[in-house]
Amino acid sequence: MATATLCLILLILILSSFSSSQLSIKSKAVAAAAAAAAAEVRSFRATSRFLGKFAELNRTKALPNSFQYETRYFTQRLDHFSFSNLPTFQQRYLINTDHWVGPKQMGPIFFYCGNEGDIEWFAANTGFVWEIAPRFGAMVIFPEHRYYGESMPYGSRDLAYKDASSLSHLTAGQALADFAVLITDLKRNLSAEACPVVLFGGSYGGMLAAWMRLKYPHIAIGALASSAPILQFENIVPPETFYDIVSNDFKRESVSCFNTIKESWDAIEAEAQTDDGLLGLTRTFRICGNLRSSQDLSDWLESAYSYLAMVDYPYPSEFMMPLPGNPIKEVCRKIDSCPDGTSVLERIYAGVNIYYNYTGTVDCFDLGDDPHGMDGWNWQACTEMVMPMSSSESKSMFPTYDFDYSSYQEECSKDFGVNPSPRWITTEFGGHDLRTVLKTFGSNIIFSNGLLDPWSGGGVLQNVSESIVALVTNEGAHHIDLRSSTSEDPDWLVEQRASEIRLIGGWLKSYYQEKTRLFSEYNNEDPKQLFDM
């Protein structure tokens, strides 16, 4: 990128701001130029984020009484693939054996593949696993992903996130090895080597569940991979897919809402050209402190729209933030119902306030960066989790931009001192011609996706074989099937979960039948005695 272009972009970012004033012809021209430069910046900011900045995970909800567990810690090697004398760390895991029928009856182990966050939060939001455990007499385990929550190498987050060297062991491959070692050790200590393991996971955790079933097929007999975008790499799916789905979620609720959001970006860039405009934007959007650039506000808004699409559940939820049922419908209602004369940006604030302040208890919004400057998922996105994302002109309500790997690489080098490896995930786990890979080497995987979820575009949406099944729902959002059942669940969700239970039950039945056959052959025993309860 030329020096002059860099200077122009930096100047625009410094001057960028918002206000609710009318756009003059001159300001529209300025906005167009600003938007073009901002799009160049966004080309590498549009990285994949499951629970990244502005996700605002809600940790206040108490764990249901039926979701009780003991917290334990397991000593893991920092590097499973080296024989050097490297440090170890304590991996936290949550375990419940209340309903487990024990090793003699080969009680199953339900193992949730922890993903990018505190494991207690995932345990509280994965009610499906807890609810079906009694039915199957299963043990429940929620292990925490290394470098998240309390599972910090080097003893603290500050030391673990110190630099690229300390973060170098934050990889999916190391996390899967953690899971495999934990399962193997736990089963051995409980004399439960014959107990079958079923993997569960949502989002990145769903990717881990599917990959673990492929990489360690002897460890687990099957996996439920919910909302797992394992095809989101190397342009296997078009890079516009994610933001096109987000945009369509809004457009299906209200075309005028879609158009207002689409118009707002130019209004933002136009107002961001002066200090007074920045001050106006700060006031309009109730920002804590003074807004210094339009990019921070744009990221904040883009995040809200993306997360709203992910959690567009048909009932009230507190997955990320307290939200009403069908939150996109409510956001668009707010945007569309403002009185005549209300500016575009004031309409946008009224809508986005549903996501960030539905309870009405927030006085102002903090757009500050992560205090450590190195969020764990940002590191993963800058190393192996390279998921190209673009925004199309025709279908997207977001500013048009194309994914630019050179800029992406430059940003990762600046933030972490590393170069991304965009082909590593497909090299390690497959991706191209995945149907053939799964059909040849895989079995017993459920890929569940809801088409409202923007991550569904990178998911497996068609059956691969009799045992690798795609369960797709038109109205489903981000791993809604893993959430607790409620009296407000629509029929399609009840049916989806029933299908998952039948498939999991079938895996276990086949496993037990094979074990019974082998036991009978080698011991001439009555196979029925093996399962006397």
Reduced to 3 states (helix: H, G, I; strand: E, B; else coil), residue 239 is coil
- Name the packing angle between helices 255-271 and 25-45 (round to 10°): 100
Strand 109-112 with 139-143, pairing: parallel
- CB count, 10 Å around CB of 488? 11
Please give the pLDDT value at position 319.
Answer: 86
Q: Which helix (H) or strand (E) holds 77?
A: strand 70-77
Q: Any idea which residues carry the catalytic annotation?
A: 203, 453, 478
For residue 28 the two structure tokens come to: 């529209």
CB 74 within 8 A of CB 407: no
Nearest to 211 by CA among 232, 230, 192: 230
* Token couple for 281: 């934007």
* The pLDDT value given to residue 519: 75
Decide: 109 and 98 in contact? Cβ < 8 Å: no
* 3-class DSSP state of 470: strand
User: What residue has token string 């973060």?
Assistant: 167
Split at pLDDT 50, 70, 90, the class of 129 is: very high
Q: What is the pLDDT of residues 235-251, one digit of tens each?
A: 999 999 999 999 999 99
CB-side exposure of 504: number of CA atoms within 13 Å? 28
pLDDT at 24: 36
For residue 94, what are the β-bridge partners?
71, 142
Please state the rounded mean pLDDT for residues 282-295.
93
Task: Compute how many other C-beta atoms are within 10 angstroms of the C-beta atom of residue 21.
Answer: 15
Quick one: which of 12, 18, 14, 10 has its CA closest to 276? Answer: 18
CA distance 440 to 177: 23
The reported pLDDT for the residue numbered 488 is 94
Q: Same topology for domains 1-40+237-416 and 70-234+430-531, yes or no?
A: no
Residue 38: per-residue pLDDT: 43
Q: Express each pLDDT in 192-203 by its tens digit.
A: 999 999 999 999
pLDDT at 107 over 80: yes
- The answer to whether 81 touches 513, Cβ cutoff 8 Å, is no
Tell me the average pLDDT of the chain: 88
d(CA 438, CA 449): 17
Q: Which two tokens stand for residue 99?
A: 């309903």
166 or 523: which leads in pLDDT: 166
pLDDT of residue 462 exceeding 60: yes
Over residues 146-192, the pLDDT tens digits come to: 999 999 999 999 999 999 999 999 999 999 999 999 999 999 999 99
* Residue 479 pLDDT greater than 80, yes or no: yes
Its CATH class, for the domain covering 70-234+430-531, is: alpha beta
The closest alpha carbon to 69, from 44, 98, 47, belongs to 98
Distances 470 to 32, 405, 452, 467, 503 between C-alpha atoms, Å: 43, 31, 16, 10, 11
The two three-digit tokens of residue 197, written as one number = 């393991």
More confident residue, 530 or 262: 262
**Do 128 and 489 form a contact (C-beta atoms < 8 A)?**
no
> What number of other Cβ atoms are within 10 A of residue 44's Cβ?
18
Which residue, among 311, 344, 345, has the nearest Cα to 329 in the 3D structure? 311
Mean pLDDT of all residues in 92-114? 98
Q: For the chain, percent helix, then strand, then coil, each to nearest 5?
A: 45, 10, 45
Segment 328-335 mean pLDDT: 98
Task: State which fold the 1-40+237-416 domain adopts.
Answer: Four Helix Bundle (Hemerythrin (Met), subunit A) (1.20.120)
Q: State percent of the chain over pLDDT 90.
A: 78
For residues 230 and 460, is the Cβ–Cβ distance under 8 A?
yes
Cβ contacts of 287-292, under 8 Å, gap ≥ 24:
287/364, 287/365, 287/367, 288/364, 288/365, 288/366, 288/367, 289/366, 289/368, 291/17, 291/18, 291/367, 292/14
Pairing of strands 88-96, 70-77: antiparallel
Helices 25-45 and 405-416 pack at an angle, to 10 degrees, of 70
Q: What is the DSSP string of 162-230?
A: SSHHHHTT-SHHHHHHHHHHHHHHHHHHTT-TTS-EEEEEETHHHHHHHHHHHH-TTT-SEEEEES--T
Domain boundaries, given as residue ranges, for the chain: 1-40+237-416, 70-234+430-531
How do residues 36-74 score in pLDDT, each as one tens digit?
434 443 433 445 556 555 555 554 445 565 689 999 999
Position 34 confidence tier, pLDDT thresholds 50, 70, 90 = very low
Q: Residue 186 has which token pair?
A: 């736990």
pLDDT at 523 (0 to 100): 66
Q: How confident is the model at residue 373 (pLDDT cuts 50, 70, 90)?
A: very low
CB 531 within 8 A of CB 517: no
144-168 core/surface letters (b: 16 or more CB in 10 A; e: else): bbbbbbebbbeeebeebbeeeebbe
> 269: helix, coil or strand?
helix
Taking residue 528's Cβ as centre, other Cβ atoms within 10 Å add up to 9
Dihedral sign for Cα atoms in the order 69, 74, 78, 82: negative
Grade residue 517 by pLDDT with cuts at 50, 70 and 90: confident
Neighbours of 499 (CB within 10 A): 15
How confident is residue 100, by pLDDT bands cut at 50, 70 and 90? very high
